[in-house]
A and B are shown apart, each in its own frame.
Chain A
């Protein structure tokens, strides 16, 4: 690259990276600093450095239970998204052709781009006691059924799966579509039946997409607070709602920052564990 070209490249890149620095990297560093303070460092308040926020965040058993609960919630939401999403992606990528595929694909990922909050709210209407689902089930069931799904962990899982399912379908679809047809025909001509082709050929080749999708679901769900609040009610306290409370209700920002950093550490560990597979998915 010549000197002018280098300058031009730098000029094109700089605005985006300066913006990301101001909006993402500096704030994350500020939060790290903040998590080590005794009190907010604004105005004329007294503050000093301390590790107390981390000891409190790590030793309080309630916080540990909530972190475990959030991880478990994210695990189940991810599992359901994969179970429901893989067949859907497979059908779209390998069984349907032409214009109807384009239309169906768009239909499947369209909700992903509509407001998450609004979709959670719509589940609240469906699941509420004596709501639409209750009535629909009772209309076909010969005996009275009391579902009472609202304000339960089930409601939270349903709402979150609804929010994040399209991610898994999208990433899995992309890796399934990239599979060369001739590979499958070769396996078939060598006498392999469908279950064997699925297990030995399609699943391994789709794995990068599935893992990428699973990570895209797991990461935001661990930190979710809006869905648990709206669909979980009293049982909907999670690590995410705990952090939210520190910032908007209790105003203990240093503790909130420490809790956020612990969550970030957990998420980064998970991303690191998945990164070999993700790198394969990217190429």
Chain B
């Protein structure tokens, strides 16, 4: 009993460590003082200013639609590749699977600078197309891992049953395999959205000045000397990404059941 109480207290401390700074930031975004001065006085001034700040709104909008495009492309490419890798065994498959992970195993700083050099060399340059190409590559492994995990629970007998009843391969894919994969595909696309929306390092090197995504804009704003408007927009970002992740978790079932 004492051990369980201690365990819960420890978990509580970890959760405080993880959430306290976020909570402080959220509270401070409603503080009237520009310099986070206490005592606290409630004000929604920073949110009002935020919604008239065209630069931040434009960057936010750009981040959202880039993330939507990235999620769409990465989900389609990732799901196709996963189904191929899951269905068949062939020579070189392990190598192909290993090749999916450099986007995660190489530090983003190196991926980002390498992309900058390459895209400049081939004439794509910096800007939104470069950002999208980069984000899709980063998001692909997350989609693949998520869909693959879901397919582990697929009973191959179902496929054989469908075939023996005369279904053609495409019908089997559409009516049997895809419906089973659907929760994994949905979770994977939400991951891809989150990866793109939160990505700072690669966007930082690939975004054109004046045409940046929200995290890049926040970084330069903080370095110039931050204002509570950044608090307000950060609070909104945290709230939105957490909501997206709760949704993804409902589909992906991380905690597992026991």
Contact = CB atoms under 8 A, between A and B. Distances in A.
B242 A95 contact: no
A273 interface: no
B138 to A, nearest CB: 8
B237 A226 contact: no
B226 A256 contact: no
Max chain B Cβ within 10 angstroms of own Cβ: one of A5, A91, A109, A113: A113
Interface in B75-125: 76-78, 80-81, 83-85, 87-88, 90, 96, 99-100, 102-103, 105-111, 113-121
Contact of B116 (A24, A101, A177, A247): A247
A97 interface: yes
Max chain A Cβ within 10 angstroms of own Cβ: one of B25, B85, B140, B169: B25
A117 B238 contact: no
B237 A220 contact: no
Contact of A31 (B81, B118, B136, B242): B118
A15 B143 CA distance: 14
Contacts of B218: 117-118, 121
A113 B110 CA distance: 21
B28 A19 contact: no
B211 to A, nearest CB: 15
Given A19-B77, A115-B200, A119-B22, A260 B136 contact: no
Given A88-B10, A121-B230, A256 B113 contact: yes
B133 interface: yes
B253 to A, nearest CB: 8
A95 B76 CA distance: 39
10 contacts: A27-B119, A30-B117, A31-B114, A41-B121, A114-B242, A117-B215, A119-B21, A119-B22, A225-B109, A267-B106
